[in-house]
Structures are given as C-alpha cells and as structure tokens.
Structure 1
Amino acid sequence: MYYLQDLTMNAIARELRTSRSTVSRLLSLARDTGLVEIQVNNPAHRAPYLEHEIRRRFGVEAHVVPVSDLISDSEALDRVAIQAARTIGPLVDSNAIIGVAWGSTLSAVSQHLSRRITHDSTIVQLNGAGNTQTTGIAYASEILRRFGHAYGARVEQFPVPAFFDHADTKTAMWAERSVQRILGLQQRMTMAIFGVGSTNSGIPSHVYSGGYLDDADLRALDAEGVVGDVATMFFRSDGSHQDLQINQRSTGPDLELLLRVPRRICIVSGETKISGLRGALAAGLPTDLILDEATARWLVQEV
C-alpha cells in the first residue's frame, strides 16, 4: 500500500483499522528485516560507471558504495558494511553452507545484518583464530553468532589456531575426525564471505594487528612479495600462492578450494587495501565485490 500504491500512512491506518504509529512501526520493521529495500539512482555519482568497468575488466559483480573522501576510515568502513549486509541478505538461501572469515571488515558487516530466516543452513568458520596471546574464540564466535542469528542458521566454529608453528602439526591435526568434519563442511560451501587483509590499511587488518604474525613472519612475507591475504591464506600481486611457506601453516581454506565455491563475496573498504585487492582479483577469488567509491576509482585507474 505504501510503496506500490502510494497510499499515505493515515489512509493505510484507516483501511487496516489500526493507528498511524503502528503503520509507521511496520514500515520500519519491513526495512529492518530486508522485506523492503531502498535503492537511490543518483545521476551525479560515478558508481554505475565504476561497477561496469570493474565487471568488464575483472569479471566480477561489483557493488560500489558512494562514500565522501572527507569522512574517516572507520566511517567509510561502516557505510560499506551497511551496504554489504543489505547486499548479502537476499543472496542467502535455505540449505546453504556459508563460510565466514573473521576480521575487522566482517566484524563491521555482522553488526548490520538484516533478519532473513532460512531452513537447514549452516554458518562455518573459514579459519582458526587462536594465537599465542588468545584463543580468539570470543572474537570470532561473536561474528559467527551474528550471522547465524540473522539467517536462522546453525553455527560451526573452527577452534584451532590461525597458524600452527609447524606444517607437520597442521598435517596431523587435519587427520583428526573432529577437524575433518569442519573441513568437510568447507568443501561443500555454497557461499564464502571474506575481506582482504593488508599490512598497510587505514584500519589495520586484525591478522596483522592482533599478534598473529611475529617479526620473522612479516619479514618472510615481504621477502616473498606477499601483498595480502584472504582468511589468513596469502598471495602475491599476480595471484600466485601455492609455494608460500606460511600457507602450509595457516588454517585458512586452500585457495584452490575457495575457487570452487559458487559464490564468493569479497568486501573491501579503503584504498590502502588496493594491492591486496588486486592480488585477490588476480587469483580469481571474488565472484562478487563490494567496495567504496575511492577504492573503486583506484582499482580502475591502476589497471
């Protein structure tokens, strides 16, 4: 009545024999739950052009979020996170297995998810979160809990470190049946949602700022030409990653496995992540990309 028939709230209240305040509350609820989505087509901004160029050059579905250059990195991240949450919601179906990474970007997205009830769906953690200072369970589980609550899905945590000290330890752990159950879920994922980690972003990626990598690790990454990571799996600017030693110790999904997931949603905020984003695109990791307008401009200009 309100959006399609252009009735006023007073007219709707009379017809439904209720109060105007109830109609207002229901309209707000419709937006909050994702039943109604608002799209503004502003001819003044360049988002449609940038989306077309990114789609043409990289073969991904792009969603560019108009963000002023005058706002802070944290404000820009929050606006991208709001758009990402609204974009992801309609894509989530029943009987889905959705892999979710942890990190600053996904934490922000998880706080803006709208309710969309599904049936027999599962949220599975993509990579471990423990390090020498913390188990990481509280941090990662809160992100997963929000996703599970939003979509009425089961949540499967992955209680292992982000990185093992030795590759042999990972090999042994991966043979355990309890771990294989989580790995089996990851192998059947229908969707993966992740950000791109970077050492020099305006808002430091949690894997770099949270004590997960020591000085020796950071020097090794620099020596091997690493530009970023997805779910603690690292890659170079050309997308290569198979021979990186740190990936042998990481608990993130093998990037070849990730490439087999039908829908892979990458969320990026901040042009300082451009090198990591270009590496992720070179590796073919995203099928869908949600990013701010400034980063989109850099991405198009630097190709």
Structure 2
Amino acid sequence: MPGAPFSGGRSRDALRAAQMYYLQDLTMNAIARELNTSRSTVSRLLSMARETGLVQIQVNNPTDRTPALEQQISRRFGVQAHVVPIADSVNDSEVLNRVALQAARTIGPLVDSNAIIGVAWGSTLSAVSHRLTRKQTHDSTFVQLNGAGNTQTTGISYASEILRRFGQAYGSRVEQFPVPAFFDHAETKKAMWRERSVRRILDLQERMTMAIFGVGSIGAGIPSHVYSGGYLDHEDLETLEADEVVGDVATMFFRSDGSHRDILLNQRSTGPDLDELRRVGRRICVVSGESKIHGLRGALAANLATDLILDEGSARRLVQA
C-alpha cells in the first residue's frame, strides 16, 4: 500500500534490489540468488521500491504532445506546467486518479525538512492525499489553509483526514484550522482573527514556504465541493454572480481577470488573503477536468500558482484563444 510504513531492513532490501535491477541490469533470478531469497520476494521488493518513492520511472516519448503543451503554458502563464497525458475517452473519475498520482509524485521531491506547507481541502486534494509516497522529513508542518465548517457539518473530519495523510506521508506535524469556511458576518471574522488560538494558525500560514491547492469553478459542469456541499446559500450564489466570480482557491474568490479585492464574500471567507498567498515561494495548483477551465484561467490571471499540474484535455483548452 502506498505510504504504508516499512521496517528499516525491508527498505534496505528494496533499495538493494532496485539498484541491481534498474542500475546494474541484473535479472530478478540473479538478484534472488545474490540476496538469497526467492524471485517472488524480489518482485515484491521492486514493487515496494516504486510505491515508496525509492524508484521513480520516467518515460520519454518523442511523439508525445504534452511537452509542447507544457512549454506553451509555461511561456503564456509563467508557471512550471506538468501535463498528464490522458486520452479523451477516459472518464472523469479516472482523469482525477491519474492527475492525483502525478501530483503526488511531483510534490514528493519538493517537500523538505523545516518547511511549513499549506494544504487546502477539496476532492482534488483528497485524491492526491491518498496517493502520496513516504518521505521522511524533520521539523516540517502541514497547515490547513481554510476552514471547512458549514451549517450542516463542522467539516473537521473531512479536512483533517486530508491533512493527516500529508503529515503521515512526510513524518510531519499537522495544524488544523477549526473554523467555518465562511462566517455569517464579516465582523465575526475580524473578531475571531484577533483570538490567540486563531492567530497562531494565521501566523503559521504567513510563514508558509509552499502551498498546495485545487481550483473551484462556479460554472463547472460538475460543481466544486464549495458550491455543492452546503457552504453557500442562494443569496451567496447571487452575490457571486453579481460580482462576476468565476472560481476560487481555498474559498477565496476571483474574477476572470484575476481581480478579487472587492468581492464581498471574501470578507467572510476563512481562506488566505490572495495577496498574501502570492508571497509564498512555491504554489502548486492541481486541476482535473475541463469543467474547471474558467476557474483555472482566473487563478492564473491572479498569478496564484507557480506550478500547475493538470490533465491533457484541460491543458489543450487552456492554450486555446
């Protein structure tokens, strides 16, 4: 199972088997003889090496279209793009699975010791959290970017599970943000933001070295969780429409041109101020599905991402017009 703990001796055996198989071109039978074990055990060790990140396999296809798409996106939007090659016939669920796997493999090498990393909640980040591979770090912290409660649920268990998986994968501390996604009144948020318990989380967010998030899109064919999960009432949705909102990052909203400062609902949202988010050195945005394209364009116009991981269909639409 990806992310599951292994004993030190077992990890050493997996590393030795991987080195002999991938670097020395030995057969599994030859490795089994050298390690004094069976061929089936060698096969399991090699699988373990791949699942735990000891081995990362890269395929270079000279006819692949994704490098050209990545270059176009990078030039046009100023981000490091990672396009996941996926056929148009693949269903939305499988697209999400493959994007999440690529995101997990991209994020792993970037997570380091002594880091403070913000993580947003949502279906995309939930999928990513299930596919992380273990990497031991020291004195690193994952902090929740925005509250998850609404009138129907506290949202704590959902958001905390995502955070827990990140912390477990990298041996890191986790800091939850047990506040609603949106306060009923902007004055309540201002008062809460002065509380020391809340201020401690906000101070951590201000010192983030990396942020990881998806994009919500209000016009998506499959609505994002924030628009369909009871977080917004009819009046809120009308306000977003009047403000010409196209999407959100961590429940902070923006328009197609990236503007956001005068959007009323942002005054009640517990997500990070987008001007502050832009100050974080590494900002990894993960997007699955072409229905998020309007929200993604708005997020890029707002300069919210330094790194973008997305499926091939979305990448093609992004560079059109």
- Which stretch shows the higher mean deviation, 247-256 or 199-208? 199-208
- The aligned counterpart of 1:292 is 311
Query: What is the rounded CA distance, in whole Å, between the counterparts of 1:167 and 1:71 in structure 2?
Result: 43
Q: How does 1:31-110 map to 2 (within 5 A)?
A: 31-110=50-129
Deviation at 1:202, TM superposition (A): 4.2
Deviation at 1:228, TM superposition (A): 0.3
Task: Give structure 1 stretches of 5+ with no counterpart.
Answer: none
Deviation at 1:168, TM superposition (A): 0.4
Identity, in percent, stands at 79
Q: Per-residue CA shift, 1:103-143, capped at 9, x if unaligned?
A: 01101111111111111111100000000000000111111
- The aligned counterpart of 1:199 is 218
Equivalent residue letter for 1:201: A
Query: What is the rounded CA distance, in whole Å, between the counterparts of 2:277 and 2:74 in structure 1?
Result: 20
Query: What is the rounded CA distance, in whole Å, between the counterparts of 1:269 and 1:21 in structure 2?
Result: 36
Equivalent residue letter for 1:278: R
Q: Per-residue CA shift, 1:224-260, capped at 9, x if unaligned?
A: 1100000000000110001111100000000011101
- The aligned counterpart of 1:141 is 160
- Which stretch shows the higher mean deviation, 15-24 or 164-173? 15-24
1:262 and 2:281 correspond: yes
Deviation at 1:188, TM superposition (A): 0.5
1:229 and 2:229 correspond: no
Contact 1:202 1:270 survives alignment (8 Å): no
- The aligned counterpart of 1:281 is 300
1:161 and 2:180 correspond: yes
User: 2:309 aligns to what SS in structure 1?
Assistant: strand
Contact 1:74 1:203 survives alignment (8 Å): no
Q: Per-residue CA shift, 1:169-199, capped at 9, x if unaligned?
A: 0000000000000001000101100000012
Contact 2:219 2:246 survives alignment (8 Å): no
| Alignment coverage as a number of residue pairs | 302
Equivalent residue letter for 2:294: S
Deviation at 1:14, TM superposition (A): 1.3
Task: Give structure 2 stretches of 5+ with no counterpart.
Answer: 1-19
**Closer, same or farther: CA 220–296 of 1 in aligned 2, 3 Å:** same
Contact 2:216 2:248 survives alignment (8 Å): yes
Q: What TM-score do you get using the length of structure 2 for normalisation?
A: 0.92
Query: What is the rounded CA distance, in whole Å, between the counterparts of 1:3 and 1:163 in structure 2?
Result: 51
Query: What is the rounded CA distance, in whole Å, between the counterparts of 2:109 and 2:26 in structure 1?
Result: 26
Q: What TM-score do you get using the length of structure 1 for normalisation?
A: 0.98
Query: What is the rounded CA distance, in whole Å, between the counterparts of 1:234 and 1:31 in structure 2?
Result: 38
Query: What is the rounded CA distance, in whole Å, between the counterparts of 2:264 and 2:44 in structure 1?
Result: 55
Query: What is the rounded CA distance, in whole Å, between the counterparts of 1:11 and 1:201 in structure 2?
Result: 53
User: 2:247 aligns to what SS in structure 1?
Assistant: strand
Query: What is the rounded CA distance, in whole Å, between the counterparts of 2:38 and 2:251 in structure 1?
Result: 52
1:26 and 2:17 correspond: no
- The aligned counterpart of 2:31 is 12
1:181 and 2:200 correspond: yes
Q: How does 1:122-141 map to 2 (within 5 A)?
A: 122-141=141-160
- The aligned counterpart of 1:171 is 190
Q: Per-residue CA shift, 1:254-299, capped at 9, x if unaligned?
A: 0011101110000001111111101100110000000000100011
